[in-house]
Structure 1
Amino acid sequence: MNEQNGTPQLAAPDNHFDIRLSPTTRGARLARLLAVEWLRPRRDIPYAVTEAATQIVAELTANAATHGRVAGRDFRLALVAHPGVLRIEVSDTRGDDLPEPHTGRGLLLVEALADRWGVAPGPVPRKTVWAELDHSAGG
């Protein structure tokens, strides 16, 4: 437990970032900025991977704010750093609207930058679009 400003808080795991944001262009922009701030101090993830991750976050959160938007329901951004792999997940509440591979400039960019990506349906009404970037720690 950490104490900040006299308020006890549970320490967040260093390898995981998770936030819910409004499905708006402002929410998508904030997601990208927060991802940059979470990735910036990480010495175990190479700079090229953080740059690719930033672009992927921008594309997936823009899609969530545009195509996955449902009034009153947030989208979720999660970043998880495993040894040798950075995983990006963006979940929205339009599980009925699955992205199709090879469509749209944004998904083509995600496909080009990520080592793997896909869509996981559920739980209803959600879907999660995920991407993984391989790297060697610190290199």
Structure 2
Amino acid sequence: MRFTSTPRGARLARRLISLRLNEWGHPYTSPVNETVTLITAELAANAVRHGRVPGRDFHLRLAETDRVLRVEVTDTRAERLPAPEAPYPDGESGRGLLLVAALAHDWGVAPRPAAPGKTVWAEVGLPAPLGAA
């Protein structure tokens, strides 16, 4: 899915992920939907704020495989992300990647194949189905 690199695009990405998860059987108020939606909101906001190149969109991908949900946000800036570090106590920003690191089972950054940019991804494990051993 492709979104404009604007706050509106980030908001639409977050809402669409929540809708898609609900359609896939993860209701809006479930921990899985809330967690993946929050991770998506942080990654999309970062793509808009730090990965924006005028006139270029960001891309969002959601996949469910092997009891794992994976969110990928791709922007067109090639700079690597800094490692998350504790923000200033009075700071109004700087907590997004800390939230992603705390909520995701795994996350990382990969160069965008065949084009400038990067993909920031996060994976969230799904609970075992009821009755599974």
Contact 1:83 1:137 (8 Å CA) reproduced: no
Aligned residue runs from structure 1 range 26-105, under 5 A: 26-43=8-25, 47-95=30-78, 97-103=79-85, 104-105=94-95
Match of 2:123 in 1: 132
Q: Counterpart amino acid of 2:8?
A: R
Aligned residue runs from structure 1 range 12-23, under 5 A: 19-23=1-5
Runs (4 or more) in structure 1 with deviation over 3 Å come to: none
TM-score (norm 1): 0.80
Per the TM alignment, residue 138 of structure 1 is displaced from its structure 2 partner at its CA by 4.2
Q: Counterpart amino acid of 2:51?
A: G
Could you tell me which of 95, 104, 108 is aligned with 1:118? 108
Contact 1:31 1:58 (8 Å CA) reproduced: yes
Aligned equivalents of 1:119, 1:24: Cα separation in 2 = 21
Per the TM alignment, residue 43 of structure 1 is displaced from its structure 2 partner at its CA by 2.2
Q: Counterpart amino acid of 1:130?
A: W
TM-score (norm 2): 0.84
Higher strand share: 1
Per the TM alignment, residue 137 of structure 1 is displaced from its structure 2 partner at its CA by 4.7
Aligned equivalents of 2:19, 2:128: Cα separation in 1 = 19
Aligned equivalents of 2:49, 2:63: Cα separation in 1 = 24
Structure 1's unaligned 5+ residue stretches are 1-18
How many correspondences in the alignment? 120
Aligned equivalents of 1:99, 1:138: Cα separation in 2 = 35
Structure 2's unaligned 5+ residue stretches are 86-93
Summarize deviations over 1:27-51 as a string: whole Å, max 9, x none.
0000001111101122268921111
